[in-house]
Amino acid sequence: MQSFLDIFDIYFLEAVINGILLGGVLALLALGLNLIFGVIDVTWICYAELVMIGMYGMYYLVQYFGLPYWAAAPLVILLVALLGAALHFLVIAPLLTAPPINQLLATGGVLFILQSFATVAFGIDFKNLGIRLPVLSLGDMNFSYARLLSFAAALLGMIGVYLFLTRTFTGTAIRAIAQDRQIMPLMGVDPKRLYLITSAIGGGLAGLAACLLVLQYDVHPFVGLSFGPITFLICVLGGLGNFIGGFIAAFVFAEIISLGGLFSDLEWGYVLAFGFFIVMMFIRPAGLLARRS
Amino acid sequence: MSRQVKAWIVALIALVALPFVHSDPYHLHLLVLILIWSFAYTSWSIMGRFGLVSLGHGGFLGIGAYVTALLWNDLGISPWLGIPLSMATAGVLALIVAYPCFRFRITGHYFVLVTLALSGIVLQVITATRDYTGGSLGYTPRRAGSSSIVALQFDDKVIWYLIALAVWLAGIVIWHWIDRSMIRHAMEAISEDEDAAAAAGVNVTAEKLKITLISALMTALAGALYCQYQMFISPDTVSGIAVSLQMVFAAIVGGVYVALGPTVGAIITILLAEVLRIGFGTKAVGWDNLVYGVLLVLFIIFLPKGILGSVIDWTKSPPKPPRGHEQETVPVARR
C-alpha cells in the first residue's frame, strides 16, 4: 500500500509539472489570440491552423532543406507572421465594419482553406521532425527536454511581447487603440497600420508556438483541431482580450487536462476541461478576473 | 400567394413522382443525402438567422446518430423509439447548456465559443467511450436482415428518398411556421437589442430557449436519419467542430434568411464534393474543402445573404428595405 502511494505521488507530481509545462505553450497561443481580439476585436477561429502551417514549415525547412533547428525557427516565425498579416489584409480588413459574427465565420472559412491546403499540398500522413531531445530524469520523474525548452521559450516569447507593448512607442499605441478605438485615430494614429502590426505579432506568436509544438507532436493537416478549441476556451475563460486572465486560464486548463489524463484516458481530460469551461461560463461569464457587474 | 402555393404543390408532386420515373440508385443516393443534410442545415438556420450562431450543432447531430444506434445495438430498442429518445437527449443537453447561456446573457463571440465547447465535449466523449462506440473507428448499427420496418432499415433507396423528402418538407414547414409566428418578431427584436426587447415585454430567455430547443431536436433527428441511412457513423462525420462549421457554411452559402437557402447550400456543397470526387478521384482529397473555404470567405465578404437570398433580392424590384437584423450593424452585446 505504502509503495503504491509513493508511485501515485510521483506520477501525480509528474502530471502536475507536465501540466505546467503544457500550460506555457497554451499561454503563448492564448496571448496571441487575446492580443488580436483585444486590439482588432476579432476572433481568429483559424489560429491553430496557422500553427499547423508553421509546423509544416519547420518540417520542410529542417527535413528537406537541411537547415538546423535554430536557423529554421526564425524563418518560420517570420513566415507565419506574414501569414497573419495577409489574413488580416485579405479577410479581416474588408469585414471590419461587418457584424462580429461574420468576421468569426470568415476565419472559419480560412480554417477550411488552410486545412485542405495542407491536405492537398502535404498529404494526410503524420510527419515527424525527427529531432529527438533527451529526457531529463529527476528522481523517478521523467521530463522531456522538448517540453522544458518549449516552456522556457514560451515564457521568453511572452516576456518579449510584454516588453514590446510597454516599452516601445508602437506597443503603447497598440495598447491605446485596444482601450479606445474611436479616439486613437483622432490622435494621429493610423489604425490600419497598427492592426497589421498586431496581426503580424499574433501570427509570429503562432509561429513560435509552431516551432515548439513540432518538437513534441507529429504534424498532420488536422493537428490544429487538437489544440485549437482548447485555446479559444482558455481565452474566453480568462476573458477575451484579458492577457493576465488568459495566462492563468492556460495553466488551469493544462492542469485539468494533465491530471484528468493521469486518472483516465486523455480524452476524459479534455471532457473534464470542456465541462469545467461550461460551468465556469455560468459562474463567471466575463472571464476569471472580471468584476461582476 | 396562391400562385406560390400552387408552385409548391406542383414541385412536391414532381419530387414525389421523381423516383418512380428516374430510379438510378446513384442519383437517388445523392438526393437522399442532399435532403437529409438540407434538413440539418435548415435546423441550424432556424437559430442562425436570428444571430444565434451555434457551433454546437455537430454535437446534437452526433447525439442523434449515436444514441439511436447504441440503443438499437445494445438494448435492442427500435429506432422508432430510439430516435425520439435521442432527440430528447439532445434537447435536454441543449436546455442544460442554453438556459444558463441565455439567463446570463452570453451572446456574440462568447455564445459561439460556449457552443464550440459543447460540440468538442460530444466529440471527445464519443472517442473516449470507445468500448461502446468504437471510438474514432466508427460504428455500425446492427443489420436486421434485408429490409425491416422495426429496425428502420431499408435496402430500397426509393423508400429512403420518400422518408427524407417527408422529413425535409417537415423542416421547411417548421421554418415557415416560425417565420409567421410571434417567435420571429420576438427573436428579431432580441437580435437587435436584448434590453429593449425585454423592456417591450419579450421574455428573452424563454423565446431563445424555444428556438434553440426546436433547432436541437431537428438536428438530432437529422443525425439519427443519417445514421439509419448510411449504416455507418464515425465521430468525425457526425460530430465535432468541423461538422458544425460545415453546417454553418452550407447554410450561409445558400442563404440563412430564406426558407430554401439551406437546401440550396446543401445542393451546392454535396454536388461540389461529388463532382470533384468523380473528376479527380483520390487526388481530390481536400480540394472540395479548399473550394468550400474560399467560397465561404468570399460569400461572407461579398454576399452575406447567401446565393438564394441575393438572387431573390435581385429578382424582386424595387428591393425591399432589409430587416433590421440583416443590416450591416448588428450590435452584439459584449461585456
Give the mean model confidence (pLDDT) for residues B302-318: 75
- The whole-angstrom separation of Cα A157 and Cα A224 is 20
Using alpha carbons, select from A49, A94, A23, A77 the residue that is nearest to residue A238.
Answer: A23
Q: What is the DSSP letter of A80?
A: H
Strands A135-138 and A141-144: antiparallel
Decide which of A191 and B211 is more confident. B211
- Hey, is the C-beta of A137 within 8 angstroms of any chain B C-beta? no
Decide which of A19 and B169 is more confident. B169
CA distances from B327 to A97, A229, B18, B191 (A): 11, 30, 39, 11
Give the mean model confidence (pLDDT) for residues A44-73: 89
Confidence check on the interface: ipTM exceeds 0.90, yes or no: no
The per-residue pLDDT of chain A, averaged, comes to: 83
Residue of A nearest to B243 (CA): A112
Cβ burial, residue B319 (10 Å; 0-12/13-18/19+): exposed
Distance from CA of B270 to the nearest CA of A (A): 16
- The whole-angstrom separation of Cα B147 and Cα A57 is 52
CA distances from A231 to A24, A189, A199 (A): 12, 31, 17
pLDDT of residue A293: 44
List A residues 202-221 in contact with B (Cβ-Cβ < 8 A): 221
Distance from CA of B127 to the nearest CA of A (A): 7
Q: How many pairs of residues across A and B have Cβ atoms under 8 Å apart? A: 160
Q: Find the DSSP H helices in A88-223.
A: 100-122, 145-167, 169-179, 183-186, 191-216
- A161-217 pLDDT, tens digit per residue, is 889 988 998 888 888 888 877 787 788 778 888 889 999 999 999 999 999 888 888
Is there a domain that residue A288 lies in?
no
Q: How far is CA A7 from the centre of its chain?
A: 33
C-alpha cell at B335: 461585456
pLDDT of residue A57: 92
The answer to whether the CB of B85 falls within 8 A of the CB of B213 is no
pLDDT band at A70 (very low <50, low <70, confident <90, very high): confident
Q: Which chain A residues touch B105 with a CB distance below 8 Å? A: 285
pLDDT of residue A145: 80
- A275-285 pLDDT, tens digit per residue, is 888 788 777 76
Distance from CA of A62 to the nearest CA of B (A): 25
Domain tally for chain A? Answer: 1
Omega cis (within 30) before B318: yes
- B127-176 pLDDT, tens digit per residue, is 888 888 887 788 888 887 777 777 788 888 888 899 999 999 999 999 99
- A111-149 pLDDT, tens digit per residue, is 888 988 898 888 878 888 777 777 777 766 777 787 888
- The whole-angstrom separation of Cα B34 and Cα B268 is 9
Range of the domain at A34: 2-283
pTM of the entire structure? 0.83
Residue of B nearest to A236 (CA): B110
Q: What's the count of helices (H) and strands (E) in chain B, helices before strands?
A: 15, 0
- B23-57 pLDDT, tens digit per residue, is 788 888 999 999 999 999 999 999 988 888 888 89
The answer to whether the CB of B66 falls within 8 A of the CB of B82 is no
- Hey, is the C-beta of A227 within 8 angstroms of any chain B C-beta? no
pLDDT of residue B212: 93
- The whole-angstrom separation of Cα A83 and Cα A102 is 20
Q: Which chain A residues touch B127 with a CB distance below 8 Å? A: 267
Q: Do B100 and A99 touch (CB under 8 A)?
A: no
CB-nearest to A229 from B109, B116, B249 is B116
**Hey, how many other C-beta atoms are within 10 angstroms of the C-beta on A19?**
23
Amino acid identity at B259:
A
- The whole-angstrom separation of Cα A135 and Cα A18 is 13
- The whole-angstrom separation of Cα A271 and Cα A90 is 36
Distance from CA of B144 to the nearest CA of A (A): 33
Q: Do B328 and A97 touch (CB under 8 A)?
A: yes
Instruction: Look up the CATH number of the domain holding residue A176.
Output: 1.10.3470
